[in-house]
Structure 1
Amino acid sequence: MPIKLIAVDMDGTFLNDNKQYNKTRFLNQYKQLKQQGIRFVAASGNQLYTLQNYFLEIQNDIAYVAENGAYVVDGTEEVGFAHFSPDLVAEIIASLIENYQQALIVCGKKSAYSSVTVPQQAYQKLNKYFKKLKISNDLMHIDDQICKVTLNIAQCDENLLLEDLKAKDFIQNQSVKLVSSGFGFIDLIIPAQHKAHGLSLLQQKWQIADQDILAIGDNYNDLEMIQKAGFSFAMDNAVPELKQAARFTAKSNQQEGVLDVIDLLLAGEYPFQPSLNAVNF
């Protein structure tokens, strides 16, 4: 079966631990993917502006499933944007701001927002993940559509935070889903607006079936996308649950595992020959 769409997670997957990738190698691959009519999608918990920053040379040519699936863009065209109701945003922020104000990042369509109380040393980390980040005097009254609320666990006790979050009414009644995106962040997202849902919007636009998707990831927020794809890869550095769900395993993000898989695809080599069944590369 022909692959028509490649969806790759970014942190821990496409990017190495220094938030970089072999740009020369990938851009050469991308030219070949484009010649073969294969779509490339960056699917990440990151905001759209951060993802675009990684692909400056082709940023208006590829597609994005950003904010864990809430914000979907094809080139310069918005395909979908899901956001919490203003009342639910107010409930979430009000329940967290007293104890976790320094840890909060409120993610909107126009920007991400952090409190003036966030310690200066925390911004070295935040600026890696949020290329458009504004400091707000009042997180309760942000003029934006909010699609995700993130907590930087470096600013709090992770176990206590998770215990507290799981007891919140908006988690208990399933108005909000709690997911770990790794790298020291906990995300509060819209239920069912995960990466697989974002991909489905692009599939509808491009008329691409699940069986024609190649997806690669490493963490819990990649699970639905991995389960959806006809060809699914977990990185060698992936969490065990994702390795169990994926059909195949790629080398780690430190070893350019994603680019190796793309080379196999372009060459028509295993596992893109349906008669073969090995699982490691």
Structure 2
Amino acid sequence: MIRLIASDLDGTLLKNGAQALSPEVFELLPALRKKGIHFVAASGRQYANIRRLFAPLQDEISYVAENGSLCMHEGKMVASGQIDRDLANEIILAARRQPDCSLLYSSPEKCYVEKGNDRLYDHIKNHVHYDVELADDLTQLDALCLKVAICNFDGADRSFGYFREKYQDRIKIVTSGNIWFDFIAPNADKGTGLAAIASALEIRPEECMTFGDQYNDIEMLAFTPNSYAMDTCAKGVERYAAHQTSSVEEVIRTLL
């Protein structure tokens, strides 16, 4: 019996660049709750941003945010990951030397973009709707570092290979959509965050169902035998899932 559903957002519940959930999602979640099925939103997005997306149901679900670097259940942090500041600063300096790489620094409370990067700031503030602040220099921030993200508006694959080769032995690097890739703590991923929430609820992996489309979802997909990769997933992600689907909502309806 399924007792928990965890779904990625961008490319999974949010399709074709959408920044708002479909009305059907807000009909299905209360129906799941009535059947005793808990919902977890699992995303590379900021915690505050995900909560806004799910209003007015934001207090009825759990969250795996920042690709597992900040996991919240019933208003309490159940798992987290931090990046060593020296390593974060090294990545920031390396990204500055690469063409077309824009930097986003995530802390528990907000994220930061360096002054002068108007395109990224506008995208984060007005399109994605994050809590974002401009900073003079990301390497001088006092805030804890949950994640460093690099955006390449021409496609993440243009820059990802360079950083993977340079840093994969020191930090976890995952693609997080078509234009993003993230650096996160080695102990942080969506699967670890989901496991912490499932443990708090005394739910076994075989009682969970997961959905995802990118390589930041693979640990979550591998967590349970009831996993679905989206038909539009990044090449190879389907190998980590038991099934494929074109619609999360369609699969959820079969449980009701």
Structure 1 length normalisation: TM-score?
Answer: 0.83
Residues 114-136 of structure 1 deviation map (CA, whole Å, 9 limit, x = unaligned): 11121x33344323335111110
More helix by percentage? 1
- What CA RMSD, in Å, does the superposition of the two structures yield over aligned residues? 2.0
1:188 aligns with one of 183, 190, 195:
183
Residue 48 to residue 37, structure 1, CA distance change in 2 (3 Å) = same
Residue 85 to residue 265, structure 1, CA distance change in 2 (3 Å) = same
Match of 2:252 in 1: 262
> Following the alignment from structure 2 to structure 1, what is the Cα–Cα distance between the partners of residues 157 and 249?
34
Percent identity between the two aligned chains: 28
Residues 28-82 of structure 1 deviation map (CA, whole Å, 9 limit, x = unaligned): 2222211221110000111111111111101122100011111000132222221
Match of 2:236 in 1: 241
Match of 1:72 in 2: 71
- Which AA in structure 2 matches 1:37? G
Which structure 2 residues correspond to residues 26-105 of structure 1 after superposition, within 5 A? 26-99=25-98, 103-105=102-104
- Which AA in structure 2 matches 1:31? P
- Which AA in structure 2 matches 1:27? F
Matched residue SS, 2:195? helix
1:212 aligns with 2:224: no
Match of 2:171 in 1: 176
Match of 2:164 in 1: 166
1:125 aligns with one of 113, 123, 145:
123
Name the stretch that deviates more: 13-22 or 106-115: 13-22
May I ask how many residue pairs the two structures share in their alignment?
254
Kept in 2, the 8 Å contact 1:101–1:115? The answer is: no
Residue 102 to residue 232, structure 1, CA distance change in 2 (3 Å) = closer
Residues 175-200 of structure 1 deviation map (CA, whole Å, 9 limit, x = unaligned): 21221111301111112411001111
Larger radius of gyration: 1
- Which AA in structure 2 matches 1:20? A
- Write out the 4+ residue segments of structure 1 that deviate beyond 6 Å after TM superposition: none
Name the stretch that deviates more: 65-74 or 127-136: 127-136
Kept in 1, the 8 Å contact 2:113–2:120? The answer is: no
Matched residue SS, 1:243? helix
- Which AA in structure 1 matches 2:160? L
Matched residue SS, 2:116? coil
Structure 2 length normalisation: TM-score?
Answer: 0.91
Name the stretch that deviates more: 78-87 or 194-203: 78-87
> Following the alignment from structure 1 to structure 2, what is the Cα–Cα distance between the partners of residues 58 and 163?
39
Q: Which runs of 5+ in 1 are unaligned?
A: 252-256, 267-281
Kept in 2, the 8 Å contact 1:46–1:130? The answer is: no
